[in-house]
């Protein structure tokens, strides 16, 4: 067994844990990604499949991560090492923790850049740059922003500094305190925007689009996209949930809280859809526009709607808050590990993590500005990539996340002894059996399918 001291901080209450885990889960994935992939994949039928994935695959893996964190009482790498030792398994199982932490950090390096687009859009919309703008002008604004290295360096730096300050203050005064105001504010803004959008947009068409599934539109690739997104949106396989599990009081129900987190995350994604699509339909825009839906399509609605400058600004503030709380949670888990591993202070850990983060975010920033050294020409597992951002995005979202999820499922389902997992779960026998069935069979099979599809083997 390791001699690493166990983590002694605990969440203030079950409520603050649920709030923080929800804050980690709710982010760009819910408000930026979910609406556009739903738009591209036929609306209602996609939602049905997505919900099935969240509850049959996402919740069991989330429970597995919380179990590892709480029983291991350490940052992910050491927690997994402790558990492997406890069950007398090969020490290589500790990779479960290390691989997922690495994945989380690499996701973070481009996540902060997309978050800084939201930041820059707050300023641009408050300045009225989108007012009366046409589609051509908005595309120019977006390209000009993403392509300007100096602007992106500035906004990303501000965001990373803010993150370092929150994490540096420590677990209770930083993260816990921040999510306590940021999450409710973000939710109130989102719900307010959804009401306004129902008022000025075409709510009926949006509801029709989202809740009248047309299963003839369903393809295998839709199913697999839904599965992959269920993973990303719950922040699974990125170290975060394992870290949060380490702070979880012993008597908190892992089953109950996991279900709550999944429900809260799903509700936010659905409200985001109900906020965005009435505007898309009401203003004659196209729902299947892809990743530009929020940054290029939606501003067209803000350009001409009543109080568009104000509403647009509020929208990007809300997006920024959602992204910021997810970024803090990722940095939190890396910083907590650094404190433990190198016996440095919180501030040293937070600042050094953020310095490395900022340095690596340049790989993405300069990819968008077209700097020569970021341009590559690689085809890997069926995907052609032209710059470093695409390499990092593909490697993390499509390769490391599924692999991490698979390892977590196998580790908690097969490697750790059942009696330890059952004791830690503290749930009725049939609940444990159901969970074990999910991590032993459903998750590995489903994840292997997604993985093969995403890497082109099945397509």
Q: Where does this chain bind ligand PHE (CB under 6 A)?
A: 24-25, 27-30, 104, 107, 232-233, 235, 238, 240, 326, 330
Is the separation of the CB atoms in 353 and 47 below 8 Å? no
Name which of 266 and 326 has its Cβ closer to ligand PHE: 326
Residue 92's Cβ-count burial label (10 Å; 0-12, 13-18, 19+) is exposed
CA distance 66 to 246: 7
3-state secondary structure of 375: strand
Strands (E), 64-105: none
Question: Is the torsion defined by CA of 245, 247, 252, 257 positive or negative?
Answer: negative
Alpha-carbon gap, residue 372 to 57, rounded angstroms: 41
For 343: left if phi > 0, alpha if psi spans -120 to 50, otherwise beta; the answer is left
Q: Give me the least distance between CB of 317 and ligand PHE, in Å please.
A: 16
Classify 34 as helix, strand or coil. Answer: helix
Cα–Cα distance for residue pair 298/6, rounded to 1 Å = 47
For residues 322 and 179, give the distance between their C-alpha atoms in angstroms, rounded to a whole number: 10
Which lies closer to ligand PHE via its Cβ, residue 41 or residue 396? 396
Shortest distance, position 425 Cβ to ligand PHE, whole Å: 23
Residue whose beta carbon is closest to ligand PHE: 29
Output the CA torsion sign for 265, 270, 276, 280. positive
Q: Least separation, in Å, of the C-beta of 91 and ligand PHE?
A: 26
Residue 111: CB atoms within 10 A of its CB come to: 22
Residue 3 beta carbon to ligand PHE: minimum distance, rounded to whole angstroms: 29
Nearer to ligand PHE by Cβ, of 41 and 233: the residue is 233
Distance CA 296, CA 298 (A): 6
| Strand 375-380 versus strand 383-387 pairing type | antiparallel
The CB density around residue 136, as the number of other CB atoms within 10 Å, is 8
Q: How far is the CB of 240 from ligand PHE (least distance, A)?
A: 5
Q: Give the residue with the Cβ less far from ligand PHE, 104 or 228.
A: 104
* C-alpha dihedral (166, 171, 173, 178), degrees to nearest 10: 50
> Can you tell me whether residue 202 is helix, strand or coil?
coil
Shortest distance (Å) from residue 103 CB to ligand PHE: 8
Query: Which is nearer to ligand PHE, 33 or 346 (by Cβ)?
Result: 33
For residue 235, the minimal CB distance to ligand PHE (Å) is 4
DSSP 8-state symbol, 48: H
Q: CA 405, CA 445: separation in Å to the nearest integer?
A: 11
Query: Which structure tokens are listed for 318?
Result: 């809300």
The nearest distance, CB 422 to ligand PHE, in angstroms, is 28
Q: Of 42 and 104, which CB lies nearer to ligand PHE in the complex structure?
A: 104
Select from 377, 38, 441, 398 the least CA-distant residue to 210.
Answer: 38
Q: How far is the CB of 54 from ligand PHE (least distance, A)?
A: 12
Shortest distance, position 232 Cβ to ligand PHE, whole Å:
5
**Shortest Å distance, C-beta 55 to ligand PHE:** 17
DSSP 242-261: HHHHHTS-TTS-HHHHHHHH
Q: Can you spell out the DSSP letters for 389-402?
A: HHHHHIIIIIIIHH
How far separated are the first and last CA of the chain, in Å rounded?
45
CB closer to ligand PHE, 238 vs 387: 238
């Amino acid at each position: 067994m390791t001699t690493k001291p166990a983590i002694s901080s605990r969440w203030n209450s079950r409520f603050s844990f649920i709030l923080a885990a929800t804050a980690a889960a709710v982010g760009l994935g819910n408000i930026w990604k979910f609406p556009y992939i739903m738009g591209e994949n036929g609306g209602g039928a996609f939602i049905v499949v997505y919900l099935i994935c969240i509850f049959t695959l996402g919740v069991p893996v989330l429970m597995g991560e919380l179990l590892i964190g709480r029983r291991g009482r350490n940052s992910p790498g050491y927690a997994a090492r402790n558990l492997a030792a406890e069950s007398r398994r090969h020490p290589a199982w500790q990779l479960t923790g290390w691989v997922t932490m690495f994945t989380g950090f690499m996701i973070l390096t481009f996540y902060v850049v997309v978050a800084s687009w939201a930041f820059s859009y707050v300023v641009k919309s408050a300045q009225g740059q989108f007012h009366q703008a046409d589609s051509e002008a908005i595309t120019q604004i977006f390209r000009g922003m993403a392509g300007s290295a100096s602007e992106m360096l500035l906004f990303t730096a501000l965001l990373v500094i803010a993150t370092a300050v929150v994490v540096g203050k420590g677990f209770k005064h930083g993260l816990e305190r921040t999510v306590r105001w940021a999450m409710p504010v973000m939710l109130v803004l989102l719900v307010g925007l959804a009401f306004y959008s129902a008022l000025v947009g075409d709510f009926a068409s949006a509801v029709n689009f989202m809740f009248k599934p047309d299963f003839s539109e369903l393809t295998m690739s839709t199913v697999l996209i839904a599965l992959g997104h269920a993973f990303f949106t719950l922040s699974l396989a990125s170290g975060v949930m394992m870290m949060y599990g380490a702070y979880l009081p012993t008597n908190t129900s892992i089953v109950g809280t996991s279900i709550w987190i999944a429900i809260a995350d799903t509700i936010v994604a659905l409200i985001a859809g109900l906020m965005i699509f009435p505007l898309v339909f009401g203003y004659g825009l196209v729902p299947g526009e892809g990743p530009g839906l929020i940054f290029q399509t939606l501003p067209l609605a803000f350009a001409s709607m009543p109080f568009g400058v104000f509403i647009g600004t509020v929208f990007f503030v809300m997006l920024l808050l959602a992204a910021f709380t997810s970024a803090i949670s990722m940095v939190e888990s890396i910083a907590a590990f650094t404190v433990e591993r190198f016996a440095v202070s919180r501030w040293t850990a937070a600042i050094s993590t953020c310095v490395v983060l900022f340095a690596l975010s340049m790989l993405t920033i300069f990819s968008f500005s077209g700097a020569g050294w970021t341009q590559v020409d690689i085809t890997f597992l069926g995907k052609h990539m032209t710059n470093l951002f695409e390499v990092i995005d593909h490697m993390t979202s499509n390769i490391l996340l599924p692999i991490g999820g698979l390892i977590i499922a196998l580790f908690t389902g097969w490697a750790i002894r059942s009696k330890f997992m059952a004791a830690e779960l503290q749930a009725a026998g049939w609940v444990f059996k159901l969970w074990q069935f999910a991590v032993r069979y459903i998750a590995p099979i489903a994840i292997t399918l997604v993985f093969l599809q995403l890497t082109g083997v099945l397509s």
